Structure 1
Amino acid sequence: MFEKLMAMAVLPAADLDRAKKWWHDVLGRDPVWSEDEGEIAFYDIGGTVVLVYRTDYAGTAQNTALNLMTDDLDRDMTALRTHGVVFHDYDLPGVTTVDGVADTGEERTAWFSDSEGNIIALGEVSPQMRELAMKLRSSSAGTG
């Protein structure tokens, strides 16, 4: 069962053209495939497929919709800020940010929203967690 199963991230967009422009201008990504009717677009981020689709319910979730891992949070936050990204600040039980960054000592994470209001996390994880994520990814692809 599920031998040929695949998974992908899914993000809603109220305006797919606006979302495509944001993905291009901010994340430097163009669709690897998009539907002619303009209702869906697929992106590749670090080997993970992300489906962005048109729906009127975009931006209604108040939780993290996509998690990106980086090896240099400061570098990537600076780059995103040059494209107009504003990072969220939180003061919640267990999560407090300073200048957009939550620092647990082993991990640092920042959150921002895309053009459609979806919340994206950008995290610099410990070397051990990054290694585990790479092993899990290669194992799930059948190469590890």
Structure 2
Amino acid sequence: MDDKDVTDTDARHFLARGQVASRLPAQDLERARRFYSEKLGLDPVDERPGGLLYRCGGTEFALYQSTGASPGTFTQMGWQVEDVDAVVAELGRRGVEFEDVDVPGLRTTNGIAEVQGHYPSKGFRGERAAWFHDSEGNLLGIGEPFV
């Protein structure tokens, strides 16, 4: 879609022009802050009562105080990295525990699975991926595309 095809009054395109950002619930915001800092090496760039804002690779995500818990049964946010082996090794040294997956068509070895299939426009066949839970039960992923 070209910008010239979108008018400011065309409601169908309002979201297409917006920046996507993730929001993750935290039952204990200070515990989450420590996890993201100590385990992931991320510190908030801004905060407000009940919320912490992080920036990574030109995008952002927020942790917000919540009384509800994440089910942690599906990936809620992920990072695309250049070397998933190095990231998994470093995070493992920091105490991050990666999920073991063994379901038909998907199995982790040393915390990393090879996921077949990718979006054709990206030019990759799939990705090598790993998953872990943060201190609040949110399931997070790390992926490295392969050709």
What's the TM-score bracket when you normalise by the shorter of the two chains?
Answer: 0.7 to 0.9
TM-superposed CA distance for 1:58, in Å, is: 2.7
Partner of 2:144 in structure 1?
Answer: 124
State how far apart, in whole Å, the 1-side matches of 2:136 and 2:80 are.
21
Give, in whole Å, the separation in 2 of the partners of 1:74 and 1:44: 23
How many equivalent pairs are there?
A: 125
Normalising by structure 2, we get a TM-score of: 0.78
1:104 and 1:40 mapped to 2: Cα distance?
Answer: 33
More strand by share: 2
SS at match of 1:87: coil
Structure 1 stretches of 5 or more lacking a match?
128-144
Q: TM-score, normalised by structure 1?
A: 0.79
Runs of 4+ in 1 over 4 A off after TM superposition: none
Cα distance in 1 for residues equivalent to 2:115 and 2:51: 37
Aligned residue for 2:102?
A: 91
Work out the percentage of aligned pairs sharing the same amino acid: 36
What code does the residue aligned with 1:55 have?
Answer: S
Listed one character per residue, the Cα deviations across residues 102-131 of structure 1 (whole Å, up to 9, x for unaligned) are 12474210111111111111111126xxxx
- Aligned partners of 1:93, 1:10: CA distance in 2, in Å? 30
Check whether the contact 2:72–2:133 (CA below 8 A) recurs between aligned residues.
no
Unaligned runs of 5+ in 2: 1-10, 117-125
